[in-house]
A and B are shown apart, each in its own frame.
Chain A
Amino acid sequence: MTVLAIDDVRKTFNNGEVAEDILKGVHLALNAGEVTALVGASGSGKSTLLTIAAGLQQASNGEVIFDGHNMTDMSAEQIRQIRASQFGFIFQFAHLVPFLTVEEQLLLMLDVAETTLSKKAQLQEVDRILVLVGMSHRKQAYPASLSGGEKQRVAIARAIIHRPKVLFADEPTASLDSQRSKEVMQLIHDMTKELQIATLLVTHDEEMLIYADRIIKMTDGLIN
């Protein structure tokens, strides 16, 4: 089932007097329970496409349809609400809040997503997700005491705790070693299947493509 559809999306950046077309009319559909990998050389437009799909920047032309609603017609507040409650994000760096424990990072995300769960149910959900990502033993740890792989696991937990419909993962293994990268990708793959999330993965690392259900190659702002 298609959760998010990108229809003829174009993006033009103006560098002084020169207009540069980064995306030249991209069509893409993200389906529930599927990892879609976007690959391509640097500057091919894959990260720009991901950020437009995630509502982090506006397309110059075209439509982004989420759950049947055109996001390009929405206000900034409506897009923020979707980002908070329906989308999950994993970045190249974990970007955890340095003054919150692992448990608090996840509770914050539930708070941001305006969950209707009771306090007790929230704590149970945090425990459940931490078991899923193998981090329950570091529940009270602060980010500074976690390894790179552990931070990224917490970032994954934060991205899925509120049961998003779409997961955006932009180079999630770029700062990890080979072993940690495989573990993290396996986790993203498993979560996608278990929670029936539509995952859009941007990566340079071809070794990680074995975890994708669909591989889409981008060249010069177009899908091949």
Chain B
Amino acid sequence: MNLAWKDMKKNKVRFFIVGSIIFLVSFLTFIISGLANGLSQDNAALIKDLPKGYFYMNADADKTYNLSKIDNETQQHILQNEEGAVAFSIQMGFLNDQANKQHSVAFVTATDSEFFAQVKQGEVLLDSSLQDKGIHIGDSLTNNQLEEQLVVKGFVEQKKFSHAPVAYIHQEDYTHMYRVQEMQLVFIPNTDVKEFTGLQAFSQKEFLQTIPSYNAEQLSLNMIIWFLVVISGLLFAIFFYMMNVQKIGLYGILKAIGVKTIKLFKMIWTQMLILSSIALALSIGLSQMFSLLAPNSMPFHLTIPAMLQLAIVFLVIGFVGATISGLQIKKIEPLQAIQRGEA
């Protein structure tokens, strides 16, 4: 007999309240997680969108990519011998539009590669967020370090670095602007880490940590997310504990007539699973809706695998919370329940 479901059917209001709290906390966690991922994308979409692989910079650059200069000989050696390898550079800077309004951008230039957009000298390809700021295809933009103008060739979707829209420019223009011949970084996709003299390797995760502010920003947001997860775990335990305390007499009588303790545990676990599943399904649905309705200026990015990962964490802590609260069932003496009188 499914005691769990019958209990929930008869005490709808009580379970609705508990379920609502689980839903609200999980929804809040999903939203904060979406914002954290959104900010992370906003900070490093350029890097995060690259396939799995390794980044290389000068060993003496002190893990600071814009201090790195890879000499031409090493660069040529890697590009010729490693399939898909690309050398690239990133520099934060400004572009002035036709109304002389300044826009902060991350200039990116790279050798021929499918992973980085290519433009001709005198052209620029911009992140689409600049389109919202009134820049159009064909506009001529200026930079005080470059004598020639850059003509907007087009826009790319969701390419950001350090919260600034990416501006892809030609290597020649980059060299004129920053007066450097060497590239800062080399990226080799789909391989294990390799050894190159004078270069230090970074996985994508390690490289992201070298971006100023990325680490601090993600640490704070992740701390909020895990606090919420812990709070949810406590809420699970407290609410199930309160419900179980109210049923101690009943559990005692059931034990007295011979109901197995494990059956009572299964009852609690089933209730937890039903409540959590409904609450999490609603949270996932609503947070997906939120991601569609959220304004473009709000960085919100929540992938299905990230949500499923959080949902599994919620189910695990729900299970632990319900089990901890259910431990008192083991301690219940049927005799005491009988002597307590009617609940």
Contact = CB atoms under 8 A, between A and B. Distances in A.
A98 B6 CA distance: 10
A111 B263 CA distance: 11
B331 interface: no
A83 B253 contact: no
A97 to B, nearest CB: 6
B334 interface: yes
Contacts of A99: 3, 6-7, 9-11
A80 interface: yes
B317 interface: no
Contacts of B334: 56
A98 B258 contact: no
A31 to B, nearest CB: 23
B259 A51 contact: no
Interface stretch (A11-19, A62-70, A101-109, A179-187): A101-109
B333 to A, nearest CB: 8
Nearest to A110: B1
Given A95-B338, A98-B250, A83 B257 contact: yes
A76 B342 CA distance: 26
B260 interface: yes
Nearest to B258: A84
Nearest to A91: B338
Contacts of B335: 51, 56-57
A79 to B, nearest CB: 9
Nearest to A87: B258
Contacts of B260: 80
A85 interface: yes
Interface in B196-254: 249-250, 253-254
A83 B343 CA distance: 22
B90 to A, nearest CB: 63
Nearest to B261: A80
B294 interface: no
A81 interface: yes
A113 B9 CA distance: 25
B258 A85 contact: yes
Interface residues of B, number: 24
Nearest to A86: B258
A104 B3 CA distance: 10
B256 interface: yes
B341 interface: yes
A142 B341 CA distance: 19
Contacts of A87: 258
A175 B342 CA distance: 10
Contacts of A112: 257-259
A162 B261 CA distance: 20
Nearest to B7: A99
B253 A95 contact: yes
Contacts of B255: 80
Contacts of A51: 335, 338
Interface string A104-135: 10011101110000000000000000000000
Contacts of B1: 104, 107-108, 111
Interface in B238-296: 249-250, 253-260
A44 to B, nearest CB: 16
A100 B254 CA distance: 13
Nearest to A107: B1
B316 to A, nearest CB: 28
A94 interface: yes
A170 B258 contact: no
Interface string B312-343: 00000000000000000000001101100111
Nearest to A48: B335
A211 interface: no
Nearest to A100: B6
Given A98-B343, A108-B1, A111-B1, A170 B10 contact: no
B267 to A, nearest CB: 11
Given A83-B256, A107-B1, 6 more contacts: A83-B257, A84-B259, A93-B342, A97-B253, A97-B254, A99-B9
Q: Which 8 A-B pairs have the closest CB atoms?
A: A84-B258, A99-B10, A93-B342, A95-B253, A83-B258, A99-B7, A112-B258, A56-B335
Interface of A: 51, 56-57, 80-81, 83-85, 87, 89, 91-95, 97-100, 104, 107-109, 111-113, 142, 158, 170, 175
28 contacts: A56-B256, A56-B334, A56-B335, A80-B260, A83-B256, A84-B258, A85-B258, A87-B258, A89-B256, A91-B253, A95-B249, A95-B250, A95-B253, A95-B337, A95-B342, A97-B250, A97-B253, A98-B10, A98-B343, A104-B1, A104-B6, A108-B3, A109-B257, A111-B1, A112-B257, A113-B258, A170-B338, A175-B342
